[in-house]
Structure 1
Amino acid sequence: MRHTAAKLFATLAIATSLATVAAGSALADPSGTPAAQDLVGVGSDTTQAVLGQFSTDYNASLTAAHDTTSPRLYSWDATGTSPITTKTGATSITRPNGSSNGVTALNTYTNTTVDFARSSRAPQTGDLTTDDFVAFAKDAVSWAGNATGNAPANLTTADLKAIYTCAKTNWNQITDIAGYTGPNATIKAYIPQNGSGTRSFFLKAINGGTGSVTLGSCVQSYTPEENEGTDSVFNDANAVFPYSAAHYIGQLNGHTTTTDNKGYLSLRSVDGTNPISSGALNATFAGTNYGRVVYNVFRDAEWNGTNTQATAIQNVFGPLGWICNDTTAGNDISSYGFLALDFGVCGSVTHL
């Protein structure tokens, strides 16, 4: 059960808004240029859709409460036209695509351009000690194959590691899956681009949760946009691709665009465990090495600040804030395929 705590808003108590999230198209970039004071994020593809929904619902709650002064919340997608002007008076920047590029933008610019980065990965070497990774939900990463193709319904961790290190390059080499006899066909293994949190997490997961697999030369050099099964390369019976289970469930729930949907792919099991249970993220799967917390990242000085913008950040993202406590935010998290974090975990900070 989602724990609801008293909310400490500086100027007013924000009323609980819509009770449910209707299935519909995934939200995109802000419809106009956000104001200079607004909270604006960039980065991860995996969490862009749910952050877009957060922005709509949080801003609607301010309107319903007749609050015309508090900073609003906005999120720019990982892909689209580039460069972008993130808010009024901001420096025009190349659109950040992926968790690492979002964190880089956060550390390159000030809050006149970027206030937070969406990240589907935890802190890693190269991040700053002043980057505060603030938890908001649970995801898991599995793999997807062409829906009518040659891949089995399940692969073991050992199989996935062998595929991505090129120890196994043909489906007839997959001999440890009960009831599956692979055809003589070359596996087409794809991986998202460098800077993708899903990429780095998956390569660690298939290595047993520590270190990282070094990709073999058979892995395709072309890097499709993560969590989008519409790329024509997936219209191939032998294609496999890492995929966020939460994002896939969100797509099943109707949160899609022309490109941001499962397309040719279907999500598969790992080590005999299905990532989906009763239409939701399987908590058992999310409890394995394939489960991950997803974050929004802030500069430490602003996360711990006392000015109006810092207060707004806590009102939205903090442990007593809207995302961690409001019923509508909880419904958003569920509708977009994620699992809610326990009170005290949601809004908690991790850093190097």
Structure 2
Amino acid sequence: MRRTPPRPLAALLATAVLALAASAAGPAQADPPPPPAQPEIVGVGTAADQSAFNHLSTDYNAWLTASGDTTSARLFSWDQSGPSPIVPKPGATSITRPANGRDGLTALNATTSATLDFDRAALGPQMGELTSDDHVALAKDGIGWAAPAGGNAPANLSALDLLLIYNCSLTNWDQINDIPGYSGPDATITPVLPGYAEYDPLGHSPYFSSDTATNFAWDVDASVGPYSVLNPGPCVVDGPLDNEGTDPVFNSPNTLVPYSAGRYVGQLNGHTTASDAPGVLTLRSLNGLNPVNAGRLNQNYTATDFGYVLNDVVRATDWAASASDPLRKIFGSTGWLCTNAVARADLQSEGFQLLPIGACGSVSHL
């Protein structure tokens, strides 16, 4: 997470904070530990920033302890995958472990703060959601695509290429003729998508159980233009969990898969597990833009249709409490996640782009 051009002292100090947070935080907690004596703020949701929340919760709780605060609610977050059902808080209602942000939102709306407080969301407010769901902005990410190093995929594909590949209209690398300097081999393309299904509780079609695949499909559609619909054809392989390249399916040199650019940067920064890692995959350019520049998300890329804001969804009734409310102290525009130097360094180390003060912690809803 270091930039190469010379910078003023303030920027160098910011980098020092970033490096300290990345190196000194220690291993993050994947699921909440045994119940502590303090109250808890607990969330579930998307895989996109679950590693970041493991990191952030560890540092937030350590910050409270170092400050001598023994009474404020501690922050915990449940991973997308693992044993199910789960009991999010001591004495809470047992729930099925949410597999994505939309499942997390359903669980949030079906329970009270005795069970859950927030949902990690990779999508903004959607038709069909409750107007009482407040989306609190956290950071920016970008959706791209990845393919095995040394494989047959080019270094760049257009959004139209990706639409046609996943709709199974382009099925061979030698059919791609719009990428300068690329002459694809006569080999069948194997497009991979993290799990998808035909039914969506909110009525979206097509529906993907993967938040990464959902953002990818919607962003490709938006980039290509009106009436474009990425509707997976019979050539598409139902793939592994979001943003990991260790699955054997990627042993084929002809595969490609949607990938969170921020998560990719975070993985390169060492925030990995045995399965949550890029493995053989490398992130590629889309529409001629590389999602990553100098080890960070490319701002020119996240300014396109392929950039999106990570949110934490809370109940409006919980958020409407006073500024001293635990949710606002953590997620609000003047809260720890948006203003604390260690928190902001954590987010950058995990690969995400910081939002300006004021935009981080802002609220949107239907």
Q: TM-score, normalised by structure 2?
A: 0.87
Q: Distance in 1 between matches of 2:294 and 2:160?
A: 27
Q: Could you say which residue in structure 2 is the equivalent of 1:283?
A: 299
What is the CA distance between 1:18 and its match in structure 2?
9.4
Asked if residue 21 in structure 1 is aligned to residue 6 in structure 2, the reply is: no
Q: Could you say which residue in structure 1 is the equivalent of 2:285?
A: 269
Distance 1:35 1:239, change over 3 A: farther
What is the CA distance between 1:186 and its match in structure 2?
1.2
3-state DSSP of counterpart to 1:22: helix
Mapped contact 2:194–2:213 kept (Cα < 8 A): yes
Q: Distance in 1 between matches of 2:300 and 2:235?
A: 29
Asked if residue 246 in structure 1 is aligned to residue 248 in structure 2, the reply is: no
Q: Could you say which residue in structure 2 is the equivalent of 1:153?
A: 155
Q: Distance in 2 between matches of 1:197 and 1:119?
A: 8
What is the CA distance between 1:34 and its match in structure 2?
5.5
Distance 1:35 1:145, change over 3 A: farther
Distance 1:255 1:291, change over 3 A: same
Mapped contact 1:34–1:74 kept (Cα < 8 A): no
What is the CA distance between 1:37 and its match in structure 2?
2.9
Q: Distance in 2 between matches of 1:108 and 1:35?
A: 26
Q: Which amino acid aligns with 1:197?
A: D
Q: Could you say which residue in structure 2 is the equivalent of 1:6?
A: none
3-state DSSP of counterpart to 2:160: helix
Deviations 1:211-231 (A, max 9, x none): 772423234352321111111
Q: Could you say which residue in structure 1 is the equivalent of 2:205?
A: none
Distance 1:291 1:219, change over 3 A: farther
Q: What does residue range 212-231 of structure 1 map to in structure 2 within 5 Å?
A: 213-231=229-247
Q: Distance in 2 between matches of 1:48 and 1:223?
A: 19
Mapped contact 1:54–1:332 kept (Cα < 8 A): yes
Structure 2: runs of 5 or more not aligned: 1-6, 8-16, 196-207
Q: Distance in 2 between matches of 1:171 and 1:48?
A: 34
Mapped contact 1:234–1:264 kept (Cα < 8 A): yes
Q: Could you say which residue in structure 2 is the equivalent of 1:100?
A: 102
What is the CA distance between 1:307 and its match in structure 2?
9.6
3-state DSSP of counterpart to 1:207: helix
Structure 1: runs of 5 or more not aligned: 2-15
Pick from 334, 354, 364 the counterpart of residue 320 of structure 1: 334
Deviations 1:257-316 (A, max 9, x none): 0110001211110011111101111111111111111010001100112497xx010000
Which runs of 4 or more aligned residues in structure 1 lie more than 6 Å from their structure 2 counterparts after TM superposition?
A: none
Pick from 248, 270, 283 the counterpart of residue 232 of structure 1: 248
Q: Could you say which residue in structure 1 is the equivalent of 2:133?
A: 131
3-state DSSP of counterpart to 1:41: strand
Q: What does residue range 189-228 of structure 1 map to in structure 2 within 5 Å?
A: 189-193=191-195, 194-209=208-223, 213-228=229-244
What is the CA distance between 1:138 and its match in structure 2?
0.6
Q: Could you say which residue in structure 2 is the equivalent of 1:344?
A: 358
Q: Distance in 2 between matches of 1:102 and 1:211?
A: 30
What is the CA distance between 1:74 and its match in structure 2?
0.2
Q: Distance in 1 between matches of 2:98 and 2:311?
A: 16
Asked if residue 182 in structure 1 is aligned to residue 196 in structure 2, the reply is: no
Deviations 1:89-138 (A, max 9, x none): 01121111111111111111111111100011111122211111100101
Q: Could you say which residue in structure 2 is the equivalent of 1:7?
A: none
Q: Distance in 1 between matches of 2:18 and 2:253?
A: 45
Q: Which amino acid aligns with 1:323?
A: L
How many positions carry a matched residue from both structures?
336
Q: Could you say which residue in structure 1 is the equivalent of 2:204?
A: none
With 189-198 and 213-222 compared, the bigger mean Cα shift is at 213-222
Percent identity at matched positions? 48
Mapped contact 1:36–1:87 kept (Cα < 8 A): no
Q: What does residue range 21-170 of structure 1 map to in structure 2 within 5 Å?
A: 21-22=22-23, 27-33=29-35, 37-170=39-172
What RMSD in Å do the two structures reach over aligned CA positions?
2.1
Distance 1:329 1:195, change over 3 A: same
